[in-house]
Chain A
Amino acid sequence: MSHVETSSGVDVRGVRPVELVDCDVHAQATEAMLAKYLSARARRMLERYGRRTPRVTEWYPRARNAGMRVDAWPGKPGQIWGSDPETMRAQLLDEFGIDYAVLEVLSGQDCYDDPDFAAEWNSAVNDWQLDEWLGFDSRLRGTIAVPHEYPELAVAEIERRAGDERFVAVLLPASAAEPLGARKYWPIYEAATGNGRPVAFHTGGYVDHRGAGYPSFYLDYHVGNGIVMQTQLTNMVSGGMFEAVPGLRVVLTECGVAWAAALIWSLDAAWELMREDHPRLQRRPSEYIRDHVWFTTQPIEEPDDPQHLVWAIEQAGLGDRLLFATDYPHWDFDSPKQALPRALEAPLRRAILCENALELYGLPSERPV
């Protein structure tokens, strides 16, 4: 069927081409919202002892609007930033004409909990996504929260959710109890790949010092999220997981993009010197990154000369690997209208804003109006 556009971009079949996919949106649940999905035993544990996870916001207080867009507070009883679908629909989906938004619920990310509790808690996150979000608006997509420190339980959760195509990826944190390339986590990567899902690693998770000791400020901590991901990507490549799980696709989320070229050059140079130590690696590190790694854009780096960002993208070969993201409702929200520099030419802009995500997540390129 030919595509016949009307003046509003809607064709006569009542569909419109997809133009904007947001690959990192934070629906945020309160404990009460998740507690109703827990067993009586787990709920009692939660009520009596609480989570074993100290919130990172307690020791790195977000230095701006408690880390949120100040206008994103729903002002409804029992609701917090990111918990109310109607507020998000108005402020994000409708405001910017977003065709698909991928939810990343971080409630299970920093899980130091008992295995049984961790499994229930992450399953509750997924139930809540289904009940409150994925049925609320057809533009929303979910990611499967898993108890990642207990891979066999994580695999079970992936299998449980994989039949629902609205879950487009498996969500893991950028820091865990072991480096992300550790063999411990490979069963999770195999299960995700076997079920046709990429693994999205989102900034956050286990927050230990980072080799230089604990920074004093949220400023360092937050800029440092990009630094942490460099360490993790190095570990992923070096440890051989891309050889072990050939179809694996990973999405590095909210960690920046412009550092990729420098890391790729370092990895290739070091590998040339140390190939004997990496018998599992059949190819140069840059080739694994090229085949297996995607990046979300927010918070996009902002050089004084925007052309420098274009160079950084080209140097790392990321033109078809970048996925636009807003990070709604966080304070450092990247607006679809302003975040990408004008120096990006139209085809690259289109690829970042929608085409790369459609291909990665297998989303339809048209959607009903």
Chain B
Amino acid sequence: MTDVIDCDVHCAPESYDALFPYLSDYWRQYITEAGIRLNGVAHAYPRGVVAPAPPSYEALAEHVPDLAILNCVTGFETHRNPYFAAAVASAINDWVRDEFLARDSRLRASVVVSTISTDDAVSEIERVGEDPRFVQVLLPVRSDLPWGHKNNHAMFAAARDAGLQIGLHAWGRAGKAPTPSGFTTTYLEDYLGNQPIAQAQVLSFVSEGVFERFPDLRVVVSECGFAWLAPLLWRFDKDWKGVWREVPWVKRRPSEYVHEHFLFTTAPAHLSGDPAAIDQVLEMLDGPGILVYASDYPHDHGDGLPALMDRLSEEQRHELMSGTAAKLYRMTG
């Protein structure tokens, strides 16, 4: 039996040199001439306070539990050139496969795709998605169009055909203001800004009818919290009752789609210090079944997880630590 499935572990190439074997002469020259460097996605994970993601299997090995899903967010930051974004996404997937997946059978990974061109994302899903070690498509919560938008549906069709789920992860779109009033001025705001943006994405998947078109699709939201979910759904259901005619393809209450199709990782678990309030949050969420464990290694989000685990039964803990994820990704140890 699998005891622990870690649904969000990071890895990242230290520099483009690591990706050069997987890039054409054209892109190697482009990177070299333009002096493009990887900076560890520094605005999202400032090096002074956040440990860098492991650049090699050796650096990661001791942090792998029974099973772990690797998310490489390096590709979130690849500029606005759609051709470059597609080339880098492919290179990252090849690098993850050769450097990590090939070396440890406990590892799985997300397919990195271009977040600029749906066509390129579809091609990449078709190229690597048949490999069963890739279990989901990785998308940043920050986007030019909300992910549920019809322009993205071809990508979801490709994911479905390849047996992949969707992983929605914090950050993305450097250089684009993350709020309606422009840029944030402190790291705290930028960090917490992922949570409201994830909320907007939840709305989008439901209101655009994604789950009516793709009834088997699941979305795992990582590094964006979850305590906000129940109050969001109370308002979503209420508003839908008022204006459902605008979205006639939404045939059931929004909260029903969310409970069937979304999962949220436990990092960060930003919760009350009062255990009774944690119990209330769990009841509002209709139990912990919507949560899956993630260490988010190497990132630190405080000590919310132990407080959450204290409130769960033995069986609930098992489901959260591995059972739910095993069913989702059809994985066994």
Contacts and interface: CB of A to CB of B under 8 A. Distances in A.
Nearest to B195: A266
Interface string B10-46: 0000000000000000000000000000000000000
Interface string B178-215: 11111011111101110111011101100110000000
Contact of B181 (A63, A176, A213, A216): A176
A157 B129 CA distance: 61
Interface in A259-274: 259, 261-263, 265-274
A332 B195 CA distance: 26
B318 interface: no
Interface stretch (B130-138, B140-148, B321-329): B140-148
A117 B182 CA distance: 24
Contacts of B75: none
A212 B141 contact: yes
A163 interface: no
Interface stretch (A32-40, A86-94, A229-237, A343-351): A229-237
A257 B133 CA distance: 43
A208 B179 CA distance: 8
B270 A266 contact: yes
A227 B185 contact: no
Nearest to A271: B188
Given A210-B180, A266-B270, A273-B302, A217 B284 contact: no
A72 to B, nearest CB: 15
Interface string A217-259: 1111011101110111011001100000000000000001011
B106 to A, nearest CB: 29
B247 A217 contact: yes
A180 interface: yes
B277 A212 contact: no
B63 to A, nearest CB: 20
Interface residues of A, number: 66
A291 interface: no
B98 to A, nearest CB: 33
A211 B179 contact: yes
Interface stretch (A43-51, A126-134, A297-305): A297-305
A217 B186 contact: no
B49 A219 contact: no
Interface stretch (A8-16, A190-198, A308-316, A356-364): A308-316
B177 interface: yes
A265 B272 contact: yes
Given A213-B144, A223-B232, A267 B192 contact: yes
A331 B191 CA distance: 35
A120 to B, nearest CB: 25
B246 A218 contact: yes
A232 B182 CA distance: 11
Contact of B243 (A211, A219, A315): A219
Contact of B284 (A63, A218, A278, A303): A303
B126 interface: no
A357 B32 CA distance: 63
B227 interface: yes
B230 A239 contact: no
B238 A299 contact: yes
A136 interface: no
B225 interface: yes
Nearest to A61: B246
A261 B229 CA distance: 12
A271 B270 CA distance: 11
Contacts of B149: 213, 216
A272 B270 CA distance: 11
Nearest to B244: A219
A180 B179 CA distance: 11
B233 to A, nearest CB: 8
A259 B231 contact: yes
Contacts of B187: 274, 277
Contact of B231 (A235, A262, A268, A269): A262
Closest 8 CB pairs of A and B: A258-B231, A63-B246, A301-B234, A262-B227, A211-B178, A212-B200, A63-B243, A266-B270
7 contacts: A210-B179, A223-B236, A224-B200, A227-B232, A230-B195, A258-B231, A308-B283
Interface of A: 63-64, 175-180, 182, 206-220, 222-224, 226-228, 230-232, 234-235, 238-239, 256, 258-259, 261-263, 265-274, 277-278, 299, 301-303, 308-309, 311-312, 315, 331-332
